[in-house]
Amino acid sequence: MTILGWLQIIIFCLAILALTKPMGVYIFNILETPHKPMSVVIEPIKTLTEKLAGVDSKQEQTWVEYALSVMYFSMITCVVTYVILRLQDLLPLNPQKFSGVPSALAFNTSSSFTTNTNWQAYTGESTMSYFSQMAGLAWHNFLSAAVGIAVAIACARGFTRKIPKDAPKTIGNFWADLMNITLYVLIPISIIGALVLVSNGAIQNFSPYPEIRTMENATQTIPLGPVASQESIKQLGTNGGGFFNANAAHPYESPTPFTNFVSMFLIFLIPAGLTYTYGLMAKNSKQGWVLLIAMSILFGMGVVTVYWAESKPNPVLNSLPLNQTAGNLEGKEMRFGVANSALYSVVTTDASCGAVNSMHDSFSPLGGMVPLLNIALGEIIFGGVGSGLYGMLIFVMLSVFIAGLMVGRTPEYLGKKIEVKEMKLVTLYILIFPILILLPSAWSSIATYGQSSLNNGGPHGLSEILYAFTSASGNNGSAFAGLNANTDWYNYSLGACMLFGRFWMMLPVLALAGSMAGKKTVPESLGTFPTDNLTFVFLLVSIILIVGALTFFPALCLGPIVEHFLLLKGKVF
């Protein structure tokens, strides 16, 4: 660990902190007030789109109507992407004449991009045409991100709105939220981001792949394409994935340390801003800062652990005449170094973004455990755009409930009592995630067709399988690269986990929002447990760690933890 490395990490944190409030205010104005910037240009486009789609964005929806809109929209867009991939060879912008994507891989990929997962069981530059990359994949980078933010805002409305007794218990309109987020937030910022990336060396073209002669007189094909435009929205929308198989480690996606910094900044920009948006909706900005502080503490713990672990030399190589003062450099790009590789791995797994600028499979056991644990906690440490906020609010409800039990009174949050129905929904949300991870991981670990995809055995092989299903169920998309996931078993099982991990967990959130929206508020009293101070931050972080530890600690012991102790004894897998 070096002073320069820590300085880079601190500068990144300060940059995110500086933009949290402005971004939060901007999103609040876009979604909760009539005062929208650029409305003269954007509103006609929005109105025309709504007319063509036949939707009424001015009609408020109940949680059931909102949820059905989310499901219908996501299902249709998933089918559209599946068709594009299957018919790729018949569609334009395919200069390399790639064939249609096989059905199992097309299902996996369309499920992946619909759910904001962006898991890639394929090599992008040798599988996807330019049309598929743009119209099938980058298109979904906008839509899946907008859906996540919309659900988070709907959840926040349910928690913060004070609805009269006889009025409909509504949480907004999905179509209005979807259009406003896409047109006012995602498209403008992603355009700026793409221009910054292009100006610093990321490529953007539609040229066929050229063939060149190497110094050894061999022939090499250089993949090209519209990379910067996809890279910008993949990071801003916490989508992940990449145009190339090497992802953000590829110099055409992220050429310099500056573009690496821009990528990380885009990843955290909206999730951090949404915490302040929530504080504005609650009419108490401290409520938003509490969420941000809790996320930041967990983020800081992860960064310190990974940076420390990856700065250590590999004990297996100590007997060799090697200089390991730079730390564990296996699988890392020298233009980023250990500090930026460690930071990037934590940022992307904290924020449900599957992008990688180094290979997590090559991290030390403890360094690789942190990204795995970040996802396993539920993608709530900033999390995906939207999903991080509503996931954190679930843990807020659980923390308030436990605090209420400790003081012997009915728990309440923002003046609304938390009762049996709400806690059933919270429990359902918390239980779905580990079931989706642990059951298929155990199945794949003993089934021949699950083990046959492994390049590593022992505890590292278990970590590869566990990481795959954690990443899929958590809609992250990053991977331990030692697992070949392009098989029928993994394509279908991981695709199903992506869909269930996205929509089975959205339904309890929206149902909870509908239930909270219908509650009357009660004034604060001496028995009210405050949720806008550092005491509550400590309780919230503790509950998150306890729930995560109790759920996943046995699996982590069998994987990265035991591998760490075996590595100290010189045993590798």
Percentage of the chain exceeding pLDDT 70:
100
Which tokens in the block code for residue 527? 């028995």
Is the pLDDT reported for residue 549 higher than 90?
no
- As a whole number, the mean pLDDT across the chain is 91
Q: What digits encode the pLDDT tens for the residues 127-137?
A: 999 999 999 99
Using pLDDT thresholds of 50, 70 and 90, give the confidence band for residue 493.
Answer: very high
Residue 53's H or E segment, with its range, is helix 39-53
Task: Report the C-alpha gap between 359 and 52 in whole angstroms.
Answer: 44
pLDDT score, position 165: 74
Task: Report the C-alpha gap between 515 and 421 in whole angstroms.
Answer: 8
Using pLDDT thresholds of 50, 70 and 90, give the confidence band for residue 375.
Answer: very high
Is the pLDDT reported for residue 340 higher than 90?
yes
Is the pLDDT reported for residue 166 higher than 80?
no
Is the pLDDT reported for residue 245 higher than 90?
no
Using pLDDT thresholds of 50, 70 and 90, give the confidence band for residue 573.
Answer: confident
pLDDT score, position 455: 86
Domain count, the chain: 1
pLDDT score, position 430: 93
11 lies in some domain: yes
Q: What digits encode the pLDDT tens for the residues 60-86?
A: 999 999 999 999 999 999 999 999 999
Mean pLDDT of 159-166: 82
Mean pLDDT of 465-473: 94
Lowest mean pLDDT among 371-375, 397-401, 455-459: 455-459
Is the pLDDT reported for residue 164 higher than 90?
no
Mean pLDDT of 517-522: 84
Mean pLDDT of 11-27: 96
pLDDT score, position 568: 84
9 lies in some domain: yes
pLDDT score, position 153: 96
473 lies in some domain: yes
Domain residues for the domain of 300 are 3-211+220-568
Using pLDDT thresholds of 50, 70 and 90, give the confidence band for residue 236.
Answer: very high
Q: What digits encode the pLDDT tens for the residues 253-279?
A: 999 999 999 999 999 999 999 999 999
163 lies in some domain: yes
Is the pLDDT reported for residue 38 higher than 90?
no
pLDDT score, position 520: 84
Using pLDDT thresholds of 50, 70 and 90, give the confidence band for residue 327.
Answer: confident
pLDDT score, position 53: 83
Q: Compute CA 246 distance to the chain's CA centroid, rounded to the nearest angstrom.
A: 19
pLDDT score, position 268: 95
pLDDT score, position 428: 93
How many alpha carbons lie under 13 Å from residue 193 in its C-beta half-sphere? 29
Is the pLDDT reported for residue 56 higher than 90?
no
Is the pLDDT reported for residue 325 higher than 90?
no
Is the pLDDT reported for residue 572 higher than 90?
no
Q: What digits encode the pLDDT tens for the residues 84-137?
A: 999 999 999 999 999 999 999 999 999 999 999 999 989 889 999 999 999 999
Percentage of the chain exceeding pLDDT 90:
69
Contact 312, 328 (CB under 8 A): yes
- 211 DSSP β-pair partners: 221
Mean pLDDT of 454-466: 90
Is the pLDDT reported for residue 392 higher than 90?
yes
Mean pLDDT of 468-479: 92
CA angle (147 as vertex; 142, 150 as ends), nearest 5: 120
Task: Report the C-alpha gap between 340 and 252 in whole angstroms.
Answer: 18
**412-413 vs 416-417, strand pairing mode:** antiparallel
pLDDT score, position 529: 84
**416-417 vs 219-221, strand pairing mode:** unpaired
- 189 CB-near residues (< 8 Å, 6+ apart): 236, 266, 269
573 lies in some domain: no
SS3 percent helix, strand, coil of the chain, rounded to 5, is 65, 5, 30
Task: Report the C-alpha gap between 440 and 422 in whole angstroms.
Answer: 28
pLDDT score, position 106: 95
Is the pLDDT reported for residue 319 higher than 80?
no
Tell me the whole-structure pTM to 2 decimals: 0.93
Task: Report the C-alpha gap between 503 and 508 in whole angstroms.
Answer: 9
